[in-house]
Amino acid sequence: MNNKEKTNYQGKKKFGKKPSDRQKQDRRKNFYNNPRKSSDIKIGDEIPLKIKRLGINGEGIGYYQRTICFIKGALPGEKVVASITDVHPRFINGEVSKIKKISPDRVKPIDAYAGEVGGFELEHLAYPAQLEFKRDVIRQSLTKFRPEGYKRFELLPTIGMEKPLEYRNKAQFQVRRLDGKVAAGLYKEGTHDLVDLPTCSVQHPLTMEIIRIAVELFEKYNVSIYDEQTHTGSLKTIVVRVADATKETQVVFITNTPELEHVDEIIDELAAQFPEIVSFMQNLNPSRESLIWGDKTLNLRGKDTIREELDGLSFNLSARAFFQLNPKQTSVLYAETRKALELSPDDNLVDAYSGVGTIGLSLAAQAKEVRGMDNIESAIEDANENAKINGIENAHYEFGTAEKVLPKWLHAGFKPNSIVVDPPRVGLDNKLITAILESAPEHFTYVSCNPSTLARDLVRIVEKYDVEYIQSIDMFPQTARVEAVVKLKRK
């Protein structure tokens, strides 16, 4: 304890006075800057920890001398020895080096490199416990932001998949030479070190088979592979997307230079082995930046798009078009959204953050009118095109941010009685919340992919709406990602 703390403490005792703001500030400063014992810890140290729970990114949380520690690969209830990888004034990161007491929920990960690259961070946790974790993350976020009445919110058990594997319809793998050999996979977390992924249990098997054969062909034809260090070579990334309903598949080669040697022979061989591939495209990305896609996409052979079907609707997916990554759970997600919205034939529905219009179009038959918006112009073109393809005449999509477009519509006299929002991880813009609270549609459903911003947004939303329930849905088994449908009812 330093002198200042002593004075404060004694002062409080003697005079029974509350500490001044200044004193509080000083104490807080001391708390974070003043070394507790734990800050003697250095990178590489090994410390014993008891794991209390899982944090929002799937790491095990334990406390060392009251400092929070995030330990990759550790599970609640376990006693571990953690190897420290990072020390911050307020928290410590580490990874498991030894497990002294093992959780009964620990399972052997299917993928050998689980934990090394993103996308499998919970593969060592039994699936029922993964589902419980996802509900708990929502509970943790609500406890942090405390929207009024949060203790009474009904958190329904997470809806999982019967087979929580092989669900990802798209693989977007970097291609590099590792020790002279062609490799295709993902980067190690937080680095640009490629990990070759010969198998990947969450990917649709066809995407993996195609990539493995493609890698052999790149080797056979000695294709020029991109080198990040020297910014030379051509092939950077291979993208394979399969449409779950039709099995139509698209392969995209993303290249640094326009020419890709022997691409015709490679396409011949791939097409002969995989009749599912109906579209071969090339995307040109000469930039040094780490953005994956460039602006120019060319057709190499076959169609420009693949056809996917969802809930009886057809969608043409171009190489860049956004489409949910887990088609089976997307049907579940939309069914839950439909249930929460309780549409009637006279309803005007807003589909905010619409993407290519999948939610709104799947609900259009049950409403009088659907209007949606998205801030990506090509997504809006696709959404309107998708309405046309499916003969839907009462849905219209407009380019622009939700926070600008909704107030504009309201100003022009549009009266929605139902709204669904499906924002990205940043959650809702404050101006959009204001517009929703002012127009107060009777039914409001919030589809969230980030429990933190959801809990934050609910603080304002509950001024006018009751939370009837929060239904978590597992869109990404084996990962820590959490998706939820929140049913809101006007007070």
Ligand-binding annotation for 324, yes or no, is yes
With contacts defined by CB under 6 A, name the span among 12-20, 27-35, 97-105, 355-363 that binds ligand SAH: 355-363
Distance CA 316, CA 17 (A): 70
Q: Which is nearer to ligand SAH, 252 or 379 (CB)?
A: 379
Q: How would DSSP label each residue in 445-463?
A: EEEES-HHHHHHHHHHHTT
Instruction: Report the run of H or E that residue 207 belongs to, with start and end.
Output: helix 205-220
Q: ∠ at Cα 365 (363, 366), nearest 5°?
A: 70
First to last CA, the chain: 51
Q: Which is nearer to ligand SAH, 347 or 374 (CB)?
A: 374
Interaction residues for ligand SAH, span 394-453 (CB under 6 A): 401-403, 422-424, 429
Q: Minimum distance from CB of 330 to ligand SAH (Å)?
A: 7
**Strand blocks (E) in 213-360:** 235-242, 249-255, 277-284, 296-302, 306-310, 313-317, 348-352
Q: What is the size of the binding site for ligand SAH (CB under 6 A)?
A: 19
x/- map, 141-160, ligand SAH, by CB under 6 A: --------------------
Distance CA 118, CA 111 (A): 12
Distance CA 253, CA 282 (A): 5
Distance CA 113, CA 110 (A): 9
Distance CA 178, CA 269 (A): 24
- 293 contacts ligand SAH (rule: CB under 6 A): no
Ligand-binding annotation for 351, yes or no, is no
Q: Minimum distance from CB of 12 to ligand SAH (Å)?
A: 48
With contacts defined by CB under 6 A, name the span among 149-157, 184-192, 238-246, 367-375 that binds ligand SAH: 367-375
Show the tokens assigned to 29.
Answer: 């400063």
Beta strand 369-374 with 170-178 is: unpaired
Q: Which is nearer to ligand SAH, 117 or 402 (CB)?
A: 402
Q: Minimum distance from CB of 354 to ligand SAH (Å)?
A: 5
DSSP 190: T
x/- map, 308-337, ligand SAH, by CB under 6 A: --------------x-x-------------
Residues with Cβ within 8 Å of residue 182, at least 6 apart in sequence: 175, 176, 215, 218, 219, 223, 225
Q: Which of 353, 409, 444, 476 binds ligand SAH (CB under 6 A)?
A: 353
Q: Minimum distance from CB of 358 to ligand SAH (Å)?
A: 5
Interaction residues for ligand SAH, span 368-387 (CB under 6 A): 373-376, 379
Phi, psi (degrees; rounded to nearest 5) at 454: -60, -50
**Strand blocks (E) in 179-234:** 181-187, 194-196
Distance CA 138, CA 132 (A): 10
| Helix, strand counts (H, E) of the chain | 11, 23
With contacts defined by CB under 6 A, name the span among 109-117, 164-172, 203-211, 354-362 that binds ligand SAH: 354-362
Q: Which is nearer to ligand SAH, 201 or 390 (CB)?
A: 390
Annotated catalytic residue 200: no
Q: Minimum distance from CB of 28 to ligand SAH (Å)?
A: 35
* Amino acid at site 111: D
Q: Which is nearer to ligand SAH, 136 or 483 (CB)?
A: 483
Phi, psi (degrees; rounded to nearest 5) at 122: -115, 20
Q: How would DSSP label each residue in 10-77?
A: HHHHHH-PPPPHHHHHHHHHHHHHS--GGGG--TT-EEEEE--EE-TTS-EEEEETTEEEEEET--TT
Ligand-binding annotation for 374, yes or no, is yes
Q: Minimum distance from CB of 245 to ligand SAH (Å)?
A: 16
Q: Which residue is nearest to ligand SAH (CB)?
A: 355
Ligand-binding annotation for 196, yes or no, is no
Q: Exactly one of 126, 300, 440, 449 is catalytic; name it.
A: 449
Q: Which of 141, 358, 418, 452 binds ligand SAH (CB under 6 A)?
A: 358
Which residues are known binding-site members for S-adenosyl-L-methionine? 324, 353, 374, 422
Which residues are known binding-site members? 324, 353, 374, 422
Which residues are known to be catalytic? 449
Chain positions contacting ligand SAH, by CB under 6 A: 322, 324, 353-355, 358-359, 373-376, 379, 401-403, 422-424, 429
